[in-house]
Copies of this chain bind each other. A is one copy, B any other.
Amino acid sequence: MTERLATGPGAIYWHVPNKGALLDAATASVVATAMAVEVTGSPQREIRAIALGLFEAIERHPWLSPQLALRLSRSPWSSVTPRIFESIGQRVSALGVPESTWFTATSALVHYIFGAAGQNAANSQVLGLGVDRAEFLRATANAWEELDPGEFPFLRSIADEARDHDDREQFLTGIDLILTGITGAEPGGSTRP
């Protein structure tokens, strides 16, 4: 086990059956506090707030990313992921769209959150100690601009944009995109919460 805080290696096995169960407990705890933020406003704003809370929790605890996927598939009735689904789904149902679209719309939001947050967490881990974020973005953008114009016209065209984008902001704009798709119209309210 990675953490042996002033105990023998076998000590934890008195309290917990195995590493998976320990991660489950940690996951439940982290996600619970991440979703405990009181949110009020339009459904859209509330969804953005919940999404951002999860995004940041996963950024702080990168091991959450595979963990959430596993828990969702292994026991979709156990506490953690159902709460996420429920929390977002309640706001989706408050958007005033037909009930037949709720399940798919909520799934899309949750999958997007997990995907984007997982990617962000991987980025943060790679950066973490050593590389600077701005430096990294600059290097990436430069590399994209050097690519073959015939094969990679798109990457070249967005290199400038990538150079100084903000991950949180881009994440939330992605949420807005999906919300627009769900309601089939403008998500309403300002662009930023």
Chain A positions near chain B (C-beta within 8 angstroms): 65-66, 69-70, 72-74, 76-77, 82, 85-86, 89-90, 92-93, 99-100, 102-108, 110-116, 118-119, 122-123, 125-126, 140, 143-144, 147, 151-155, 157-158, 161-162, 165, 170, 173-174, 176-182, 184, 186
Task: Give Cα distance in the complex from A159 to B181, angstroms.
Answer: 23
Smallest CB separation, A85 vs chain B (Å): 6
Task: Give Cα distance in the complex from A35 to B173, angstroms.
Answer: 27
Judged by DSSP, the binding face of A is helix
Q: Are B180 and A107 in contact (CB under 8 A)?
A: no
Q: Which residues of B contact A72 (CB under 8 A)?
A: 119, 122
Q: Could you say which of B74, B85, B174 contacts A155, with CB atoms under 8 Å apart?
A: B85
Q: Which residues of B contact A178 (CB under 8 A)?
A: 108, 112, 177-178, 181
Question: In the complex, what residue of chain B is closest to A139 when comparing beta carbons?
Answer: B77
Q: Are A73 and B180 in contact (CB under 8 A)?
A: no
Name 17 interchain pairs, CB-CB below 8 A, sorted by A: A66-B66, A69-B119, A76-B143, A77-B143, A82-B152, A102-B154, A102-B161, A103-B170, A104-B170, A104-B174, A105-B177, A107-B116, A108-B173, A108-B178, A115-B115, A176-B181, A180-B181
Q: Are A157 and B102 in contact (CB under 8 A)?
A: yes
Q: Which residues of B contact A77 (CB under 8 A)?
A: 140, 143-144, 147
Task: Give Cα distance in the complex from A184 to B159, angstroms.
Answer: 24
Task: Give Cα distance in the complex from A110 to B154, angstroms.
Answer: 14
Q: Other than A77-B140, A108-B178, give 4 A-B pairs with Cβ distance below 8 A.
A: A100-B161, A102-B161, A104-B170, A108-B177
Q: Are A154 and B85 in contact (CB under 8 A)?
A: yes
Q: Are A104 and B157 in contact (CB under 8 A)?
A: no
Task: Give Cα distance in the complex from A103 to B163, angstroms.
Answer: 11
Q: Are B111 and A119 in contact (CB under 8 A)?
A: yes
